[in-house]
A and B are shown apart, each in its own frame.
Chain A
């Protein structure tokens, strides 16, 4: 027996090592309940591993982040004002869009309230940085620098402004493990926005999210928008997920199809995420105030549009706001800048220009207050016809044309005849005379 053990010591130790790990696997796979987390021993090993790996990752991230922050915040400020102006313009545009949708949203909320539907609103989010990634392929896991000490919990939804990223798989005091939607073991309830078809989103072997086992439908087309359905109780309803990239047959479950999704969030380069830590059924106060502000903006916009139609170019968009005024809309106090409307100066002043006309007390009934414009003041004077060389055709044509124009001007300009009109009349008369005096001109 002793010789057996000494002879097969190495394989026996290996077998014991493997046996212990297989038993460990069996214990982990068989969880006490479906929603339960990992066993305490497993969590302890994970905690140790993260305690080993994350300090240098935090240091590397801190150094990289601080360097980038120093550069972007203090040195690379070229174009910041231009960007700021563009962003302010975009905010104004989005406010108007929001106001346009606010009424529809309000109606939907009323209907949902009537139907007893519980809509989830995002109340609170915690921003977190991604400091590390998974140690193996086919494992789409990220390490976040925030944990339960910051209010994070297991199964919290994680998003970016572009779309959903995943959910928290494990939460430790100062670190969390984020399971991306591109992982094969993940899952999210989604909805094809146009077709209103629901499905479950999972990652495939190549790390691309897909909706599996859907019934073939002609409405599932590339480019169709996919949002969260809210059915998984993790992601609030209506968050962007991505767009349909391709529909492929499911080889194992014909005639069902798999729908490949192009994720809205860039899952290959996630740097900063928002963890949704609190949701509720009522619209947040800040959101309500934003909508109220947008509605007020829309009303002002409508008023200014009407003014702009009546007085073209009356509003100077470059004019700085001179004062602020405060009003109350639906219980919310809103403060907006007040723009004083000043008409721009005309390019060519005339009797209609403000200030050009004398006061009514100084005016005499029936008298003219200024020169009457004919509309031909800016026209170049016609060249006089050379004398003695005028042929009948040319002379007749020129004389008739300018003569008629001159006669018309003369008949209109009895009181205040402009100089150019008089010149034209004289030239027309001269040409007429020369035409009649020319030998054979009228024959």
Chain B
């Protein structure tokens, strides 16, 4: 099966420079805030989510992916009016699942990424909506067409961003 991680190269855990590991989530948070200020429609993009998915699928470590997602999600929550943990929980689940899938299937293929990214984006939206409306009972609307646009935009931007990240990583 073409999608299975069958070769030695595909199951290798890539190694990233430390500066990139620190700088990427930091840059994602800063850029998300700055770009949304100057281009209000940029809020369809979720750069921290894309970073959490990328590190999840390439690390292939579910615990690491979950913790990384929780960390970046809580920092994201801190700069919203949501209580801390809404995006943290959403990104924990996404990071964990991305890492779990990274073990089983080949996530370096362009088309695999293009298929996975909208699914993860929608999954996070469902988790956030459920927490807001059902758990903490805060106003949060589910608008299908907006979620569709968000999934598509993140998928397209994500595959381009992932290609850039791929160039920066080192292999043993």
List A residues at the B interface (Cβ < 8 Å).
9-10, 13-14, 17-18, 21-22, 24-25, 28-29, 42, 45-46, 48-50, 52-53, 56-57, 60, 130-143, 169, 177, 179, 183-185, 204-206, 268
Q: List residues of chain A with CB within 8 A of the CB of B150.
A: 137
Given the interface pairs A52-B75, A53-B79, A135-B32, the reply to whether A18 lies near B93 with Cβ below 8 Å is yes
User: A48 — which chain B residues lie within 8 A by C-beta?
Assistant: 75, 78
Known: A13-B63, A29-B136, A184-B139. A139 touches B85 (CB 8 A): no
Across-interface contacts of B102 in A (CB, < 8 A): none
Residue of B with least CB distance to A270: B37
- 11 residue pairs of the A-B complex, CB under 8 angstroms, read A9-B63, A17-B92, A18-B92, A21-B74, A25-B85, A45-B84, A46-B78, A136-B82, A141-B81, A179-B81, A184-B141
Kindly state the separation between the CA atoms of A24 and B84 in the bound complex, as whole angstroms: 7
A residues near B46, Cβ cutoff 8 Å:
136
Q: Could you say which of A18, A131, A205 contacts B141, with CB atoms under 8 Å apart?
A: A205
Contact (Cβ within 8 A) A49 B33:
no
A184 to B34, CA, bound (A): 22
1/0 contact string of B79-107 vs chain A (CB within 8 Å): 11111111111001100100010000000
Report whether over half of chain B's contact residues are helix, strand or loop; otherwise say mixed. Answer: helix
> Which A residues are in CB contact (< 8 Å) with B81?
134, 139-141, 169, 177, 179, 183, 185
Q: Which of B11-42 contact A (CB under 8 A)?
A: 26, 29-30, 32-34, 36-37, 40
Chain A residue, CB-CB nearest to B88: A21
Question: Is A135 a contact of B48 with CB atoms below 8 Å?
Answer: yes
Binary interface encoding of chain B residues 142-168 relative to chain A, with 1 for a CB under 8 A from any of its CBs, else 0: 010010001000000000000000000
State the Cβ distance, A424 to closest chain B Cβ, in Å.
80
The 7 closest A-B pairs by CB, nearest first: A205-B141, A49-B78, A133-B37, A137-B43, A21-B85, A184-B139, A139-B80
With A17-B70, A136-B82 as given contacts, are A52 and B89 in contact (CB-CB < 8 Å)? no
In the complex, are the beta carbons of A135 and B29 less than 8 A apart?
yes
- Chain B residue numbers with a CB within 8 Å of A138 are 140-141
CB distance from B132 to the nearest CB of A (A): 9
With A45-B74, A57-B30: A28-B37 Cβ-Cβ less than 8 Å: no
B118 within 8 A of A: no
Is B67 in the interface zone, CB < 8 Å from A?
A: yes
Q: Is A42 within 8 A of B34, CB to CB?
A: no
Query: Which residues of A lie under 8 Å from residue B85 when comparing CB positions?
Result: 21-22, 24-25, 28
A25 x B92 contact (CB < 8 A): no
Q: Does B131 contact A (CB under 8 A)?
A: yes
Determine if A10 and B100 form an interchain contact, defined as CB atoms under 8 angstroms apart.
yes
- Please indicate the chain B residues that have their CB under 8 angstroms from the CB of A132 in the complex: 33-34, 37, 79
Nearest chain A CB to B38's CB is how many angstroms away?
A: 8
List the A residue with the shortest CB-CB distance to B70: A17
Most buried by A among B75, B79, B80: B79
Which residues from A are CB-within-8-Å of B77? 135
Closest to A47 in B: B78
Q: Is the CB of B62 within 8 A of A10?
A: yes
Instruction: State whether B37 touches A141 (Cβ < 8 A).
Output: no
Complex Cα–Cα for A139 and B92 (A): 20
Identity of the chain A residue whose Cβ is nearest the Cβ of B75 in the assembled complex: A49
CA distance A179 to B89 in the complex (A): 23
Complex Cα distance, B145 from A369, in Å, reads 93
Residues of A within 8 A of B66 (CB): 13-14, 17
Excluding A14-B92, A49-B78, A137-B150, 6 further A-B contacts by CB distance (< 8 Å) are A13-B66, A56-B30, A60-B34, A132-B33, A135-B33, A141-B80
Contacts of A57 in B (CB 8 A): 30, 33-34
Is there contact, CB below 8 Å, between B33 and A136?
no
Residues of A within 8 A of B36 (CB): 133-135
- Tell me whether B135 is interfacial, beta carbon within 8 Å: yes
B88 contacts across to A, CB distance below 8 A: 21
Residues of B within 8 A of A131 (CB): 37
- Give min CB distance, A202 to chain B, whole Å: 8
- Say yes or no: A185 contacts B29, CB within 8 Å: no
Taking the closest CB of chain A, its distance from the CB of B85, in whole angstroms, is 4
Q: Contacting A139 at CB < 8 Å: which of B29, B82, B135?
A: B82
Q: Taking the nearest CB of chain A, how far is it from the CB of B148, in angstroms? A: 13
Contact of A136 among B26, B34, B40, B76 (CB under 8 A): B76
**Minimum distance in angstroms from A210 CB to a CB of chain B:** 12
Asked if A21 and B89 make an inter-chain contact with CB atoms under 8 angstroms apart, the answer reads: yes
Known contacts A42-B84, A46-B78, A137 near B44 by CB under 8 Å = yes
Whether B138 sits at the interface, judged by CB under 8 Å, is yes
Question: Which of B32, B33, B135, B140 has the most A CB atoms < 10 Å from its CB?
Answer: B33
* Structural contact, B79 and A49, CB atoms closer than 8 A: yes
